[in-house]
Amino acid sequence: MPKRTALPADLPRVDCHHEPENTRCACGCALKRISEKLDYTPGVFTVECHIRGKWTCA
């Protein structure tokens, strides 16, 4: 993959949050969000930040 140069800071930012619709575990407990593990995928023309929450069973 070619190395990307830094994106201009004045580009519009579009945050795309991808969260599960159901945060209830199959076992019946409530899933806990792991906030440290985020996928960060900046786009090219506008800065599109894809943020996928990771959820785990307690």
Which of 5, 27, 35, 44 forms a contact with Zn ion (CB under 5 A)? 27
- Choosing from 14, 34, 51, 57, the residue that interacts with Zn ion (CB under 5 A) is 57
- Pick 12 or 28: Cβ nearer Zn ion: 28
Residue 23 CB, nearest distance to Zn ion (Å)? 11
The Cα–Cα gap between 26 and 28 comes to: 5
Q: 57: Cβ–Cβ under 8 A, 6 or more apart, which residues?
A: 25, 27, 29, 31, 32
Binding stretches for Zn ion (CB under 5 A) = 25, 27, 29, 57
